[in-house]
Amino acid sequence: MQKDNFRYLLVALILYLIIVPVLKGWLLVPRSWLTSISFVFLLSIGVWSLRHSIRVFRIAMILAVSGIALNLAAASVQNVVLEYLSTLTIFMFLLLATWSSFRQVAFATEMSSNRIYGAICVYLLLGVLWSLMYAALHVANPHAFSGAVLESTRDPSGQWVYFSFVTLTTLGYGDILPVSAGARALAYAEAIFGVFYMATLVAMLVSAYANDKQR
């Protein structure tokens, strides 16, 4: 495990998930510009955090660069096919980053603060992954969800991230409702993942950290 890779990834995730939406709400800078810059920053830090494995690093680099290029192309020509390809490529990158981070956290031999940061990063990455799945499902079936007025599905830091984390934490405000069978399946699958993750891995890490301090 790298010494500080998850610390920087956690900062990038907090910037992307919390600080950027707040700034967009205040309209201090153009929303599209701020979203693009923050997402590119997140992907860049995500690639850097995977440098422990040359093979994984190269695959992550290809996926990240391809996702950014496809996203820019889709935005310039307003092509649905390119938009789907961009979302799929970015989803594959985030899936790789989540799995690789989980392996580093779960199978590390030493207990450190970086390992705790890694556990938090995996949890946050799960929420971002599910937000992309919700966005893709909404594009395929606009009637899959009902409730609050939904923002553009091309903005992954918008309503879908909000709905994803409300579901992941089993908070369930109910302002956005899954209606179709596919949407409901995604929602309860995410809730199950969130509960089991918090109950197993994070609890194990906290216990291991406490035991390590007592030695």
**Structure confidence by residue, pLDDT tens digits, 35-56:** 666 666 677 777 777 766 777 7
CB 12 within 8 A of CB 45: yes
**In the structure encoding, which two tokens stand for residue 139, read together?**
């594009």
Which of 132, 98, 129 shows the shortest CA–CA distance to 201? 98
Cα(177)–Cα(149) distance, rounded to whole angstroms?
A: 11
pLDDT in tens, 136-146: 888 888 889 98
Domain ranges within the chain, ordered by starting residue: 5-214
Which of 69, 127, 78 shows the shortest CA–CA distance to 98? 127
| CATH code for the structural domain at 5-214 | 1.10.287.70
State the pLDDT at residue 25: 60
Burial class (CB in 10 A: 0-12, 13-18, 19+), 18: exposed
pLDDT in tens, 157-194: 578 888 999 999 988 888 889 999 999 999 999 999 99
Q: What percent of the chain has pLDDT over 70?
A: 75
pLDDT in tens, 82-116: 778 878 888 888 888 888 888 888 777 677 778 88
